[in-house]
Amino acid sequence: MNDGWLTSPDFTQATDPMALFATWLGDAEKSEPNDPNAMALATVDADGMPDVRMVLLKGFDADGFVFYTNFESAKGTQILGSMKAALCFHWKSLRRQVRVRGPVEIVSDAEADAYYATRPRGSRIGAWASKQSRELESRMALEKAVASYTARYAIGDIPRPAHWSGFRIKPVAIEFWHDRPFRLHDRLRFEREGDGWTTSRLYP
């Protein structure tokens, strides 16, 4: 078992949440066996009913946290309806959690194109073939769609589908949590204030 809390440097004096996030993600890249960039993405539907699923973080900077998806999926329509979302990272072996909330913007076409171009050919075909979140009548129907788009784009570039792009969550609050003995965990919350951040420590 990794008693991460025993060796973890004190983070509660941090003043820059994105720098702290970069450090923690870097630590996770060394410790987590799979997908250190996996995060739970929470959204609400038109009735205010919450929904949640995992996605992969594909970029972050001072402007926010970016992931890519099908805009016609459940999450896509939910975000387009509210333009708000929340994220939660949990790095089990480090015993750390990061929570993010904020409004959402759509990444630029140039940014989405650049990321799409880095994806393996099979994933780019998949973006065309999968009507994500809609009912699939059989595995065969999906395989037929893959075969059909593979034939259509047999030669040359595979364009990015108009319904496939990225969302950027622009944080108004980021909370860092680290496990401590007897559930007396450390929590540090950053809240947006103008161009900067205010910080507060929270009871566990």
Ligand X SMILES: Cc1cc2nc3c(=O)[nH]c(=O)nc-3n(C[C@H](O)[C@H](O)[C@H](O)COP(=O)(O)O)c2cc1C
Size of the site for ligand X (CB under 6 A): 16
Nearest-angstrom CA–CA distance, 147 and 39 = 31
Is residue 124 flagged as an active site residue?
no
Q: Does 67 bind ligand X (CB under 6 A)?
A: yes
Instruction: Return the range that interacts with ligand X (CB under 6 A); candidates 66-74, 100-108, 166-174, 196-204.
Output: 66-74
Q: Does 136 bind ligand X (CB under 6 A)?
A: no
Q: Does 69 bind ligand X (CB under 6 A)?
A: yes
Helix 139-152 crosses helix 121-129 at what angle (to 10 degrees)? 120
Q: Does 117 bind ligand X (CB under 6 A)?
A: no
Q: Catalytic residue among 152, 168, 183, 187, which?
A: 183
Measured CA angle at 4 (ends 180, 182), to 5 deg = 20
CB atoms within 10 A of CB 41: 24
Among 19, 22, 53, 198, binds ligand X (CB under 6 A): 53
Instruction: Return the range that interacts with ligand X (CB under 6 A); candidates 10-18, 54-62, 80-88, 103-111.
Output: 54-62
* Nearest alpha-carbon partner for 159 in 201, 91, 109: 109
- For residues 83, 108, 191, 16, the Cα torsion angle rounded to the nearest 10 degrees is 160
Active site residues: 183
List residues binding ligand X (CB under 6 A). 35, 38, 51, 53-56, 67-70, 73-75, 132-133
